Amino acid sequence: MIILVLNCGSSSAKYQVYDWDAKEVLAVGVVEKVTIAGSWIEHKPKGKPEFTLKKDCPNHTDAVNLIIQTLTDKEHGVISDMGAIKAVGHRVVQGGEKFTKSVVITPEVLKTIADIKDLAPLHNPANIMGIEAAQKVLPNVPHCAIMDTAWHQTMMPEQFLYAVPSDWYEKYAVRRYGFHGTSFLYVSKRASVLLGKQPKDTNLIIAHIGNGASINAVKNGCSFDTSMGITPLEGLVMGTRSGDMDPALPFYVARKAGIKYEEMENWLNKKSGLLGLTGQFSDRRDINEAAGKGDKQAQQAQDMEAYRLRKYIGAYYAALEGNVDALIFTAGVGEFAGFMRTKFCKGLEKLGFVLDEEKNNLARTRNCESLISADNSPLPIYVIPTDEELVMTEDAFALLNGTYDIHTKFAYSFQKKDYVNKARAAGLEKDLAKNPALKKIIALPK
């Protein structure tokens, strides 16, 4: 059985093809510059050379068609025909309060996602376009919505409400929703395995640090608090998003500079964060290089990002009343940027998190889960590569078979002690051949 998962943004369409019976990924890829001139597809099939093709995709239907054509291509494809695809899982960023778990997409579900698009104006419209495009191309298979916000629906009112007029919640759905839920779900379940505990007995602080970044306090295996709010703008310093600030700041600058609402929203989401602080960089690798050459703005940007995250780690340690089993880093920066993990962990020793610099510097792979804390650290620090696509795949399969339920009542394959990701296991063998020292940091289940 083949399951396709799609993650459609405003100008991109990412995909993964998974063979459920063989339990392995057949292909991953992305169509870039959808709706923009100069589109192309990057296709990475298992056991075949990577493939790139330039082809204009004026809309998402064209992009999904290009994906299907590539997947079924005789030379570069991985399936014989579209009939092999039995279900499609779609990432949906904002599900509001309506959805506490993944669902099969019906006209009513799609309408609800559309009705709350104002809560995620940069994401939900693109998600909807991707769903509608895929339904046109694959009309006879179930399509499933996997909501980023569903994971956080276990938060209590004291965590998700804002101190604003109470009727705003009733009238306008004003509350904290949180995002990156699919990633937090995967990482929290894997952390429980590594710790040798049941999810219901596990308390964690998880930092998902990519271009977008958020942090999650997990209590008894469920989301307890998170840094992103009603939109993904709140919280940590991000690649291009401002994160936390005085709410009056945009009004002040708008009055001074004569900036309209839409322009201000664009500045805060796309021109702030690390890009705004440095004036030119949003990628941490570029910032690190510039900082190493003495660029004061780059150095300050690094210090601000690290300081903001450390504050949240301390706050969530307090929110969990000191009952924390592990600190975890995930996503692109969390998984690869050892120099930033060093900054993030500075001064956390009194909370029980002692980083081992040698181990930390070795942890630069998606092919294993790494333990980067010192041997004498009271609490472990892990790097756990996320796998949102696998969560989407398993949710879609379970929905197709009628076995799915909310995550506290549902067991994923990766919750098993003997779970193996075949692609990552093969990649780890190559990594170890190049650098045998990696063996020191491989985290194994207790």
Per-residue pLDDT of the chain (446 residues; tens, 9 = 90+): 899 999 887 778 899 999 999 999 999 999 998 888 889 999 999 989 999 999 999 988 889 899 999 999 999 999 988 889 999 999 998 998 889 899 999 999 999 999 888 887 777 888 888 899 899 889 999 999 999 999 999 999 999 999 999 999 999 999 999 999 999 999 999 999 999 999 999 999 999 999 899 999 999 999 999 999 999 999 999 999 999 999 999 999 999 999 998 899 999 998 999 999 999 998 888 999 999 999 999 999 999 999 999 999 999 999 999 999 999 999 999 999 999 999 999 999 999 999 999 999 999 999 999 999 999 999 999 999 999 999 999 999 999 999 999 999 999 999 999 999 998 999 999 999 999 999 999 999 98
CB contact at 8 A, 182 and 391: yes
Q: Spell out the domains of the chain, with CATH numbers in brackets.
A: 2-141 (3.30.420.40), 181-384 (3.30.420.40)
CB contact at 8 A, 95 and 120: no
One-character DSSP codes across 216-263? EEEETTEEEEES--SSTTSSS--SS---S--TTHHHHHHHHHT--HHH
Q: Which of 58, 8, 6 is nearest to 27 (CA)?
A: 6
Residues paired with residue 225 on neighbouring β-strands, in sequence order: 217
pLDDT score for 369: 98
In angstroms, the Cα distances linking 39 to 77, 116, 123, 320 are 19, 29, 20, 47
> Among this protein's residues, is 148 annotated catalytic?
yes
Q: Which of 145, 26, 25, 30 is nearest to 92 (CA)?
A: 145
First to last CA, the chain: 33
E strand or H helix at 209, and its extent?
strand 204-209
In angstroms, the Cα distances linking 147 to 38, 85, 251, 331, 441 are 30, 21, 32, 18, 33
Contacts of 212 (CB under 8 A, 6+ apart): 179, 180, 232, 238, 239, 241
Among the options 62, 148, 225, 295, which is catalytic?
148
CB contact at 8 A, 116 and 94: yes
pLDDT score for 360: 98
